Amino acid sequence: SLQVLCHKELYGQVEILSVDDTPMNHLVIERILKRTGYKMTSCLNGVLALKLIEERGYLPDMVLLDVMMPYMSGHEVCQKLRELYPTSILPVIMISAKGNQENILEGFSAGCLDYVTKPF
């Protein structure tokens, strides 16, 4: 059977991977997460996030994923993650300024666990 280790299992601290092409959004999310004791790792696009996950050999405990990014949309990244890992192993929360019903449904169809609209 597939053995997948998450950051918390290896290091005892929850790690959240923030994937967003806007550096300021990483700063906002990092401030929130550090106050709660979480470790944050960031990537500026989905291609880099998928490469990071593949290369380091363990998973973040959760992914916060922007919808509108260059190279691959958040929906495409989420679909790729779902092909590799079920939600129970790697929860993905989509984050977007587009909060209309169509975009939210597209996020859930791609496999996200939840959908949060910006700004927070």
pTM over 0.75: yes
Dist. CA 118–CA 14, nearest whole Å:
23
- In this structure, which topology does domain 7-117 adopt according to CATH? Rossmann fold (3.40.50)
Per-domain boundaries in the chain:
7-117
**For residue range 41-51, what is the model confidence (pLDDT) as tens digits?**
999 999 999 99
Higher pLDDT, 3 or 90: 90
Task: Give residue 4's pLDDT band: very low, low, confident or very high (50, 70, 90).
Answer: low
Dist. CA 11–CA 59, nearest whole Å:
12
Burial of 120 (0-12, 13-18, 19+ CB in 10 A): exposed
